[in-house]
Structure 1
Amino acid sequence: MNTAPPSDLSALLKLAASHQQAGNLADARDAYLKVLPKMAKNPDLLNMVAILCQKTGQSDAAIGHLNRAIKLAPENTDFINNLGNIHLERNEQDTAAKCYKKALTLNPDLPSAHYNLGLLAGKRGEEDQALAYFKKTVELDSGFVTAWIDMGNAYKNRNDLIEAEQAYKKAIEVAPDYYGAHYSLAILYSEMGRIEEAIAGCNRTLELNPTLAKAYLQLSDLKKFKSGDSEIKAMEKILESGKQDRLSLTQINFSLAKAYADLKAYDQAFQHLVEGNTLHRSTFDYDAAKDEKHVENIMAVCNEAFFSRLEGQGSPDETPVFIFGMPRSGTTLIEQVLSRHSQVFGAGELSAIVDVMKNHFRKDSGYPEILKSLTADDLRPIGEAYIKQIRSLAPKARFITDKMPVNFMYLGFIAAILPNAKFIHCRRNPIDNCFSCYEKLFKTGQLFSFDLTEAGRFYRAYDKLMDHWHEMMPGKIIDVQYEDVVADLEGQSRRLLNFCGLDWDEACLTFYESERNIKTSSLAQVRKPIYRGSVEKWRPYKKHLQPLIEALGPLAKDKAL
């Protein structure tokens, strides 16, 4: 079958190709679509149009074009693999898996299909399966650089940090000029506390890709900028060009805010914070009133009757220590201090509470309403399921910390299933706490933090809920004030250990020497002796923070230090 284009279509094809080469994907797509009616039986063109449709947000059209291409060339594994990729991007995981497996039935040695099945397994949290697919990928094609990188990611997710480092280094070996390999290794070094190596990795990344916004963002978390630093000028140029997408512009603004704050140019820093937060806030819907109503619902469900009905019926295990509070309230610091004790294992931010809740209820109605159906007989099995999940992380530890900040929303449920758990509530000056959230570009969640008024409203709701938990659980929760820890690390550490029933351990004072892998927005700070620079950090910005102060209301005065 002759599918070559007639000569009168050559100009359109050249135009489409030039648009594609220039990165004008929508224009390239439209030009190819004009050609398509006269070349409808050309599977390669259909595949090309499908890829462009997908990249320009038209996934339904992309699937249609690819299905037609596959009908014309049913044994073309690249087309089938591409179809799987589109379904995976749409989170249609089962359909994606069928495509990849179909490609492998036609060609069992197709590296890309093994790789994509690895990505799919990783999305499902099946790290062992993901590793098996990535290993098969590089066995078939040792130069498959992204497979080495994702193998490193899978190892990192399992906390196998040495293997992760080796995989990232292998990626650099097979593709020394690929910025993504250097960036991935820099992230690992950041989390391991190897700060100088992390900075070097970010610098190498930016040598290879000088406009990679996320590398500047990572670097800004790791270093203190000085006047004349070349990165500042480079970031300003990126903003002036206006060529980056919204996420990249957001990341650059947050990075410049940190740089100018380091230089004590606070007005410039705040302007970049406003621009970065405004950009990000425009990407999602958020209604502070819904969070306020959610807190009211939690308080209504988890009332005195709830606690008296379920008291003392859960698992008696004393292993869990819950560390919670607002984001940026010092939860990482407190976990670092405790985890240096010989009898404590720091597990980090765990999803285990939400996991066991979902596994038990298996129904559509949401939290907190689902707690109304909770019976005394339910509690112990749910508590034991949680213990089983965390115990696998540290079989011999006396205590295991879970420092998911948002667990403050679930304290009634947690106290019911684990009545002997320890509860450590991290507090911080409300203005400092909210402003610290506003300064950070959270990768996921924390939707309240990108607007000062919304941050203040959320903080008030959180504070109201914590007052409720103290009333319902008298003596069960210890409050730890961040500013007190900074002023008297040993005194507050002794207080915490005493609360947990632990003897004094001098190692708690050298929390910064921990070898734990840490994922926090204060990467550099938790790897150094006690950091005092975050106390009253809001003051140089006071004239800009009136919306936050007004939203906090009496909390900005009564509970500020």
Structure 2
Amino acid sequence: KRAANAALFDRYLSHKVMKALLSKANFLFQRGLFHQADAAFRECWERQPSVEAALGVALSSLNLGKLLDAQNWAERVIAWREAEPNLTGHGYAILGTISTDLGNYAEALEYHLRAWELARFTQSLYALARNPLSTQNAHVKKVVLSANVKDFHERDYIRVLFAQGHLLRRMGRLTDAYSNFNTANQWLRQKYPFNSHQEALRLQTLIHTVGQHISDISDTRAISLARHIYVIGLPRCGSTVLAQMLAWKTGYVSAGESQAVPKTIVALQQKLKQPILPKDFINADKEMLRAFRDGVTTEYKNTIDITATGVIDKQLWLAPFVGWLLTAFDDALVIWLRRHPGDQFISNYTILFGDERRFNHHADDFVQAWQLHDQLMSMWMQMFPGRVIPLLFEKLIDEPEKLLQPIYPLIDNVRTDVRIEDFYQQSAVVSSASDVQVRQKLNRDGIGRWNAESKYLSHRSGALEQLIRKYPL
């Protein structure tokens, strides 16, 4: 009997220790200390394998950008589920989150549906509404739209409204979506001081987005005479080539990679004594937007003459400030240029390795930069329909005239006496690593280089391969 009691006490003590370790790991994760959280969850797993520990490692790996590691740990959880069927709704929701980030949208639907069925987990309802496959799945649409907001309280109430609003918007029912977002907005205004609440700020962004769709804010009058054209992308995406093409075809002044916008942003940040974030343009008053516009215009006038024509500026690294550009300048058009991530990484690695930016040196850092840039530009494209034009570098090289033809009606002046393929004949100054490239005819030398180099990077390119699979070409 003493031995049995001692064994029982040991199990109890072990359980308490594990509970404390898991609490510590969860605390670190919630504070955003993902490296420490990852180590803590792994210690829990080594002491006593459990679903909670495996899920913690998987989610920490996901937040650290270690997609393959996250996938491996998620597979452990799935295997564990067969032996231990009591996986919670929260556990299924984490599996759904991992599957979504890995691009396994069908699996993500299954996991989030299970989380909703088990625990009415509203984060999963929101994830179902945002899943790219949700509009094609009648059961998912029924689950999301049939959720009764009156059954929920506080934050869950808002999440249900968010979920239904997003799905309605994606289904094309814009008026219904706007009604949902407005209901949530009114509730939040009563419940919280609007400007100090993060959820309210995010909601205001959504209302602004849907409102633009409903009122067709992408009025062609605002951009039919675009005189400010910004080519935006990550380094080595082909932005210099595109900017030179457009300058050749339109007669606009090529600003190269000017400092007009960065200098103005720095000046405003010094004036405000705080950084300007992507969300800040929503609350920016007319005076601040006017100061931004006047500052950029002044910087242009100090360097180039744009009084007679428009300007084409290759503005790398400005994805966070696209909202400012398009709100301050009614005649601005943003062209978002993307390139195959494998080729782009190889180009950065070989051409810009000496640069201080980390993502030129390591595939995982490049993937994080790519994903952040992609999220920001996708958000702006939704918020300013018709004013952010996405293009692919590979199609630009193969069929430049065909690709750019839809953009010409948005530009003030398009020359008919020149071919865009002859852009290399101009003598405009180019101060970038692309100087040689823009002095010769278009070629495909840089397309597909990833295939020849991938074997040398295979041990470090897991996350990069995930990006490559998702790329449209």
Q: Could you state the TM-score of these two structures normalised by the residue count of structure 2?
A: 0.50
Q: Considering Cα pairs closer than 8 Å and 6+ residues apart, tell me whether 1 or 2 has the greater RCO.
A: 2
Q: Could you state the TM-score of these two structures normalised by the residue count of structure 1?
A: 0.43
